[in-house]
Amino acid sequence: MKHYALNIGLDAKVARMTETSTPTRTLKSADGTPLAVWVSGAGPTVVLVHGTTSDHTTYDELRPHLAQHRTVVTYDRRGRGASGDRDTYDFERELEDAAAVIDDAAERQGSPVDVFGHSFGAFVALGAAAYGSKVRAVVAYSPGFGAEYPDGALGRIEAATASDDLDTALQVMFAEIIGMPADEIEMMRQSPVWPVRVAAAGTVARECRADEGFLRNYAQRLSELAVPVLVVDGATNTAPKRQISTDLSAALPISRVLEMAGQGHVAHHIAASGLSDISLQFFGDPGSVPRGPAPVRQS
């Protein structure tokens, strides 16, 4: 069983996820849902889209590196942090949210912007690009959860969520879908990040449903996506997890997979400088990463 203690950022830096700050601005999605947006840095714009059970502060390590060279836009996806939500969930609304943030940034810049998405956020970023938002290029880091879900796992998450037992919902996700050992789940439960993840755990089941069907449901849209995409994965991720990156890249017209040596699912926490360098190099020349038959391994 692979160990994930480092890959989920269980150090003091994660405590910043518990902090709050006043958004730079608040936008409205197509259905009227308010979206809290933060802006820092200067230069060409990159929009960051976060993953499941987190909010914009998950990029507190990566953002400063990017902001030395870029205007960095982060936002809380619906259902967490300072953004709103609706009683029912549809992944299309998630794409409209991202499109609202991306298109606002593009309008302010006067041209299409670059987008970085992690995990489920990578699928949101790509879906928004395929949706027709004003995207120049995309970095999709460690996209999706990357494994077939065990029978009944989503049902158990949904049952726990329905009974407001969000702690259990999170534990089922980490143990059964991600495959984390019990002792490391307990380490997470004792860390400062756990209350933040619990606060967002009501969104887990719906995002798992969307994650599981993304490549199948959006195959046609992805095949028509005309923007270059760099799929970055961690070389220490499990084989099924890395296969998601391979399958995603194969579905895209202009794409390549790059593997980060020694990294897993959250290099944005523990190797932020290196991930920033990779992203900035790609955004500086998106045409430099054509389709390839196998992952490029970065040491």
pLDDT tens by residue, 113-160: 999 999 999 999 999 999 888 999 999 999 987 556 788 989 999 999
Q: Which of 194, 179, 159 is nearest to 4 (CA)?
A: 179
- 132, 225 contact by CB (below 8 A): no
In this structure, the strands spanning 135-141 and 229-234 are parallel
Q: Does domain 6-298 have CATH number 3.40.50.1820?
A: yes
Which of 65, 80, 63 lies closest to 118, judged by CA? 63
Residue-level pLDDT at 289: 60
Q: What percent of the chain has pLDDT above 70?
A: 87
Q: What is the pLDDT of residue 254?
A: 94
- In which band, very low, low, confident or very high, does the pLDDT at 202 lie, cut at 50, 70 and 90? confident
Of 33-47, 75-89, 113-127, 213-227, the one with minimum mean pLDDT is 213-227
pLDDT confidence of residue 177: 80
Averaged pLDDT, 193-221? 85
Query: What's residue 5's pLDDT?
Result: 37
| Sequential DSSP letters for 181-244 | -HHHHHHHHTSTTHHHHHHTGGGHHHHHHHHHHHHHHTHHHHHT--S-EEEEEETTS-HHHHHH
Average of per-residue pLDDT values in the chain? 86
Query: Comparing 20 with 157, which gets the higher pLDDT?
Result: 157
The confidence score (pLDDT) of residue 4 equals 37
Give which of 166, 91, 76 is closest to 130, Cα–Cα. 91
Among 65-69, 156-160, 218-222, 293-297, name the one with the lowest average pLDDT. Answer: 293-297
Where is average pLDDT lowest: 32-41, 76-85, 199-208?
A: 199-208
Under a CB-based contact definition with an 8 Å cutoff, are residues 138 and 126 in contact?
yes
Residues near 107 by beta carbon (within 8 Å), at least 6 away in sequence: 134
Residue scoring higher pLDDT (23 or 190):
23
The per-residue pLDDT for 199 is 85
Query: Domain segments of the chain: what residues?
Result: 6-298
Q: For residue 62, what pLDDT band results from cuts at 50, 70 and 90?
A: very high
Q: Write down the pLDDT at residue 179.
A: 66
Which pLDDT score, from 0 to 100, does residue 9 have?
42
pLDDT cut 90: percent of the chain above it: 58
Residue 162 CB burial class (10 angstroms; 0-12, 13-18, ≥19) = exposed
